[in-house]
Amino acid sequence: MRTSIISIQKMKHDGKRIPVITAYDATGARLVEAAGIPIILVGDSLGMTIQGHETTLPVTLDEMIYHTRAVVRSTSKAMIILDLPFMTYSVSVEQALTSAGRAIQEGGANAVKLEGGARIASTVARLVETGIPVMGHIGLTPQSVNQLGGWRVQGRDAQAAQRLIDDALALEQAGAFSIVLETIPAQVGKEITRQLRIPTIGIGAGADCDGQVQVFHDLLGLTEDKYPKHAKAYATLAKTIRDAVSTYISEVQDESFPTEEHSFTMDESELAILYGR
């Protein structure tokens, strides 16, 4: 049985931290679930980590559904959340219902995530009314990167911080079961977490959030780019992979791979027939 909304909210009530990680394919999802992760977010960050875009904006709903189906097929315990991409829920409530419905029916997701605060509260409420669990997302919202002027910390002055608090409360009132807080001062993350009954999941929002989410590729050190301040690499797999491929190239070129161990053979009697002996 997959992680449920009730079990997530109980973790907050019991003071148990909630680890969340992104995953975009069957192999990655299978590995992180085997490690014990309770929630997998199929993030639109795949636009940057998988597709090579500079932002998440080019990602389509069809692409999100494709990746989510792979994650769902390879797991059985983790809650799977589909990140609704840019311009798939902001035109109208009807559009949001259609997009979220596809996420659940076609993607197999257990919930969806939407970026935005009070301005999308009515949309969140309508989705929840129809039985679709919604995770909110405020602070640095990547789909608004052009409007925000880049990847900047949000809520650094008292007025901006209060807007974030109001956004979080509006999402809770609308029925969101959890909220991602991205790239905001730790003090603001702490205050929002204190005021909400639902769990907060931080990414660059301080240690006092109820949980944390990290990008699969950052956590495993799969790229050699400069990592965001909020990220921590728990392995250096980029170097491991590069070294492995380099060794493979060398062994092919010096003919030390493949060996007999990696080859298949025919019976001598069949060989005799083949060669006409």
Cα(277)–Cα(271) distance, integer angstroms = 8
The mean pLDDT of 242-246, rounded to a whole number, is 97
pLDDT at residue 30 above 80? Answer: yes
Neighbours of 31 (CB within 10 A): 15
Q: Are 196 and 170 in contact (CB under 8 A)?
A: no
pTM of the model: 0.95
* 182 catalytic residue (yes or no): yes
User: What residue ranges do the domains of the chain occupy?
Assistant: 5-235, 240-275
Catalytic residue among 182, 224, 255, 270: 182
**CATH number 3.20.20.60 given to 5-235:** yes
Instruction: Judge whether residue 277 has pLDDT over 80.
Output: no
Mean of the pLDDT values across residues 259-271? 94
For residue 40, the tally of other CB atoms under 10 A from its CB is 31
Q: Give me the pLDDT at residue 44, please.
A: 98
